[in-house]
Structure 1
């Protein structure tokens, strides 16, 4: 019975193809063990990359929203701190001014008026706070301070009240400066934008709109109350203690009203903070689900890959061993 065998050249080509295939398998399993991902994604998705592309697009979008959520968190927490600092200042000032407005003691009145002037400086400075290079309370104009300095505002108002002879006249001038349409505050005091800050995009469906600005009525009243008390410190109606006391009482009442409004504003910011926190958690959960779905497609079974890797290494070593032995064969060894 005749047998059919490969010739030397055919055997050599067959061995070369086998060796090449084993080496490719070795690279494949090495990659899968090292990366934890399948080396042939086309095979993994059966040639249809649409689901994988959709998952990756959603994951990238969540990554972008994550940055916006972080920025929104920083902005709102900083704004909450600013409003808290303002509230602390006016709470202290309103109580002290109310108490001193019933006293007939020029020295005590002077001390409280001077304290109000210092608080005005502090409040304006806090309201001009910038975080990450962005002004918090200038609306859409985040590149510059939303308020003129306390010295600039005081200088303009002092010039306007110099001719007034009683507290009622001073209070009217100050009220007009802060509240009249096109008045001093709108033209020279508030330097921010009339437009609100662009809402933060938290995900595809939710936005965080922060509409608190330094021209809000609560801020105007805060500044107005502190300015009224500060004018006493600057010597307005000096010598007329009863009229100065009326100014301080008006300042105290204005600050009490603004404190309530600022508390309401802080509650509003707190609601936005809570929304941001909830969306952050939802985005995180969605991201986890998407990553798991992607992993189901692209992840390799590392244990199987490691077993195949060991098997392939042994196979390659066997090929090299046989090849080495064949290369050393001589006819004289068999004669």
Structure 2
């Protein structure tokens, strides 16, 4: 029994040595970090802590880059939908061609719906322009917004183009107006940390002043198309002219907003590059710290295997020994 126990213990020990050497030969790293570093884990712990933090920043920068790229795409969609509309509305309103103007008004109403749909764009399960309430849509539908505007205009008794414009402007600026009825999101999500030194602000929401000005102009044209609060065609033409002028002026503001987002994208890319470079340098330092000599590991594995084979041979011989074989 003592001999069996001893043989088993030696077999287990040799197997462990062979497996450890094989692991080190395969990975290139020491299997016993404490022994490799002589018990001083200070530097290794610092490296691991920094690498863990950089891994978190990598996730943050990847998420920020995806969000910023998607936002820039939405800005491009909105700009494409509204870029030439202001000038076209002004031209049609001044041409005294009712059919062409009506066709353009209908088109503007459809573009209004498309802009609202663009503001409800999602990346994964998060709505881009809904602030912290990103689990739902950012803005309400066309009918909800226009119905609320019609009720507000009727309540104000607005009948001239100037009065209707003032009522629409007031509704979009009033916290009890667009922010309460048309905007379904929450406050801005604020800035995001993307490195130890850098933060980016991707807190653009559908209540951004530039977005609201664009929506206001499109809503005015859509109201003309519905006709409920526009007393006559002459007033409708004046409203279209006002909306066209506003859209034309708002184009540069949208360009500046896209440029602001572009600068945030550039900062994200720079942070990604720096974080990756630091990660690579630290991973190299960790490798140098834990690296083993492959020749030495292979030698130990070969020695352990040879000893194990010898032990198996001795065990087999011992198991065949019988007293009766010597008494014959």
What is the TM-score with the length of structure 1 in the denominator?
A: 0.84
Q: Distance in 2 between matches of 1:165 and 1:149?
A: 25
CA distance in 2, matches of 1:16, 1:246: 99
Residue 186 of structure 2 corresponds to residue 182 of structure 1: no
- Cα 1:42/1:188, change in 2 over 3 Å: same
* 8 Å contact kept, 1:218–1:259: no
Aligned 8 A contact 1:136 1:142 in 2: yes
Matches within 5 A, 1:1-335: 24-162=16-154, 163-179=157-173, 181-193=174-186, 195-235=187-227, 236-237=229-230, 239-241=232-234, 243-318=235-310
Give the whole-Å Cα distance in 2 for the aligned partners of 1:16 and 1:238.
101
Q: Indicate the SS of the match to 1:255.
A: helix
What is the RMSD of the two structures over their aligned residues, measured on CA atoms?
Answer: 3.0
Q: Tell me which moved more, 297-306 or 273-282.
A: 297-306
CA distance in 2, matches of 1:187, 1:21: 73
What whole-Å deviation, never above 9, does each CA across 1:220-255 have from its counterpart, x for those lacking one? 1101111111122112435433x3222111111111
Contact 1:219 1:258 in 2 (8 A): no
Looking at CA atoms only, which structure, 1 or 2, has the larger radius of gyration? 1
Q: For residue 66 of structure 2, give the secondary structure of its aligned residue in structure 1.
A: helix
C-alpha distance in 2 between matches for 1:46 and 1:121: 68
Q: In the alignment, is the contact (CA less than 8 A) between 1:134 and 1:143 conserved in 2?
A: yes
Q: 1:100 to 1:17 in 2, by over 3 A?
A: closer
Match of 1:5 in 2: none
Deviation at 1:79, TM superposition (A): 0.9
- Paired with 1:327 and 1:143, the residues of 2 have a C-alpha distance of 72
Please state how far the C-alpha of 1:286 moved relative to its aligned partner: 1.1
Instruction: Report the Cα distance in structure 2 between the residues aligned to 1:186 and 1:323, rounded to whole angstroms.
Output: 85
- Give the 3-state SS of the residue equivalent to 1:69 in structure 2: helix
> Tell me, what secondary structure is at the counterpart of 1:101?
helix
Q: Residue 92 of structure 1: CA displacement?
A: 2.8
